[in-house]
Structures are given as C-alpha cells and as structure tokens.
Structure 1
Amino acid sequence: MATGIIRYWAAAKEAAGVAEESFDAVTLAELMTQITQDRESLGQIVKRSSFLVDGHPVGKRAHEEVVLGDGVTVEVLPPFAGG
C-alpha cells in the first residue's frame, strides 16, 4: 500500500473541507473510493475532475490501472469555468 498526499483545488477543496490530506491506497480508484466514502458532494465533483499524479496527467486511463507509488502526490482538478 502506498502512502501519499492528495491535494484538492477549487470546488474540490471546498467540498473536501481541506486543501490536502494524507492517504494510504494502491490505485487511484481505491483512493477515489476512500475520499468520497462519506463526502457525497466531493464524489460528484470527483466524477467530473481531472487528476495529476506527481505532476503527470492521468488522462483517460482507467483509475484501476493507475498504480500509486509511495510518497506520491495526487491533485484533484475540477472543471474550471471561463477561459
């Protein structure tokens, strides 16, 4: 199991109630399950969000296939308005 930090931005930060927190998870899918378990509003935002793992975009890869290494930083980037 990997340990790391998850950072929330914009609406995800508001829904999570914190800017960042530590986690223990093997895959991005497992991490998403953990962080949304008791946070329904965060779950809705996460479904529409993009993710960076150590600064690298996850893109369209299945979250079950994104293995998290020890000391990793995951960033949750909700859709941004404007442009």
Structure 2
Amino acid sequence: MSVRVRYFAAAKAALGRAGDDFDDLHDLGALEARLIASVPSAADVLARCTYLVGGVSTTDRATPLAAETTVDVLPPFAGG
C-alpha cells in the first residue's frame, strides 16, 4: 500500500522536505509516529496539524489510510 504524503508551510519547514511516500501505514497515527521518529523536533508542529486524506479534512489520528491515498499535512495558517 503506497501513501503519498505532502507537507506544507511550517510542517514542510519542520520536516525539512516537501513530501514522502510510505508503503506500510494503516492510519494517521502511524504516519504521525513515523514522522516524529524521523524528526523528533517536528512533534509540536505535527500535533497542531490538520490532515487532508483524499481531499477530506480530519484531525482524527485513527483515520484509516487506503492504498494510493494522498495525505496533505497542513499546519494552522494565519490570515483569513
């Protein structure tokens, strides 16, 4: 199962890259744990993020990830 993950704004800066592809993630909690394991300093930013899973916004870390899903990691944005 391949999941494409794209990072934006502060998430991109905290992780030091624009995205990743993963083959073995079953939910957003597993994704967040993997990211924090790779860059522990990103934990605070990731805790505040909203995720778009297949275009649907969620903050529920139990959200399942289906094969060939795109996940966008979106920190809070200022402005209106």
Same fold (TM over 0.5): yes
- Are 1:49 and 2:49 an aligned pair? yes
**SS of 1:13 mapped into structure 2:** helix
* Count of residues in Structure 1 that have an aligned counterpart in Structure 2: 79
TM-score by length of 1: 0.86
**Identity of aligned pairs, percent?**
37
**SS of 2:44 mapped into structure 1:** helix
Dislocated runs of 4+, deviation >2 Å: none
TM-score by length of 2: 0.89
Shift of 1:71: 0.7
Identify the residue that residue 10 of structure 2 maps to in structure 1: 11
Shift of 1:37: 0.7
In 1, Cα distance between equivalents of 2:41 and 2:74: 15
What's the Cα RMSD here?
1.2
In 1, Cα distance between equivalents of 2:78 and 2:41: 18
The one-character-per-residue Cα deviations of 1:38-71 (angstroms, maximum 9, x if unpaired) are: 3123211010011100111114x3x12x111111
Shift of 1:81: 1.5
In 2, Cα distance between equivalents of 1:4 and 1:69: 8
Given residue 49 of structure 2, which amino acid in structure 1 is its aligned partner?
S
